Structure 1
């Protein structure tokens, strides 16, 4: 079983790593994290593609069965999931079980993705549910009926996905409520507030070294060496 987890990772944080670990452990799979070069559903990223990929490599350093796949960085144009999965399917063959990992919030927007129904011809879709932000059939019926209509007959328990190469859908509960978000993390860094505990220490050190996400208008205290921004 191969699992692929795409995103802008702008920047990567502990919540991203927790999701990758949860998928690895629940699905007994290798998980590849794919930083997008040009995320089609989001505004321009705040760090460039290579910087985001470097931070991602640092975040998962030493984690078994987690790796970074940079293929979207090498492809011009928007980083459409359907194109990435088509490339992965060509590389890995038609019989390999593949799954694409998304957040539950993305599941509610799945019908807005480019050629979204074709995703199921290429891989399984696994939606991660954070405590307090659960998505069930009733919520899908109210907020994304197109998605419910598509996945209704595809719904499987996570451990059944490895029995077929593609076409299934599963929900993967995340046991621990994670506070991190990239948007809030960028805000904290820009404002000079505490943020280091939201990322692995290696990532924090590199963000500081590259002066990423900092608002130049914010002046840190003179004793900034003793401050954990």
Structure 2
């Protein structure tokens, strides 16, 4: 079984996230994509983020129509720092030793990988499926592989254009009373409005 893992704040989950997941699902012939909402402890104190319960609910509602999309609350359930290597180990243990894990990221994250917690262990545990990012050149990727040679056999470059959607802009649109129905799943839009999320300077109800 081949499992894709897609982490993010998902505040809110939007069509860009779903397109990334669908593209990875198709290009890698995955059996499942696991969405992993980020824990709150990584976020800067001056950065607004909705409570985990809301972000979890938005992911649940946004992926419910695709049986190959699932969710794990491993990062929001943990206290203290959450590291990707631990998240991958947890999902591997859940799915069994025979499962192959594909961690889905942007190429900008690949370039930063040497700065991550225990990158060598992470690379040993999973494949890294990366989407191109503007401003990231082949030379940047080569420098990363020079620092982490084992990455060369574990890096998969995904292709295709991505929907350019900013979650920050979506929150601002909601705060101003503007519709976002063309950028998020209907169920997510309904949840945002029923809970009064993002209405008052980013504070949720």
**Same topology, TM > 0.5:** yes
Show structure 2 runs of 5+ residues with no match.
none
- 1:85 deviates by 1.3
Q: Does 1:68 align with 2:65?
A: no
Q: Map Cα deviations across residues 121-145 of structure 1 (whole Å, 9 max, x no partner).
A: 2111111226xx274422335xxx3
CA 1:55/1:80 → structure 2, altered by over 3 Å: closer, same or farther?
same
The separation in 2 between residues aligned to 1:151 and 1:64, in whole angstroms, is 36
1:187 is aligned to 172
Q: Please, which runs of 5 or more residues in structure 1 have no aligned partner?
A: 157-167, 218-229
Q: Is the 8 A contact 1:85 1:123 kept in 2?
A: yes
Q: Distance in 2 between matches of 1:138 and 1:21?
A: 28
Distance in 1, Cα, partners of 2:116 & 2:190: 35
2:25 aligns with 24
- Corresponding position of 2:184: 199
TM-score (norm 2): 0.85
Measured after TM superposition, the shift of residue 39 of structure 1 is: 5.6
Q: CA deviation at 1:5?
A: 0.7
2:103 is aligned, of 74, 87, 100, to 100
Pick the aligned partner of 1:149 from 146, 150, 157: 146
Matches within 5 A, 1:58-137: 58-129=61-132, 133=134, 135-137=136-138
Aligned to 1:82, the other structure's residue is in SS state: helix
Aligned-CA RMSD value: 2.3
1:180–1:216 CA distance, 2 compared to 1 (3 A): closer
Question: 2:36 maps to which residue?
Answer: 34
What SS does the corresponding residue of 1:176 show, helix, strand or coil? coil
RCO higher in structure (CA 8 A, sep ≥6): 2
In the TM superposition, residue 47 of structure 1 has moved relative to its aligned partner by 0.9
- Please identify the structure whose Cα radius of gyration is greater: 1
Partner Cα distance (1:71, 1:10) in 2: 17
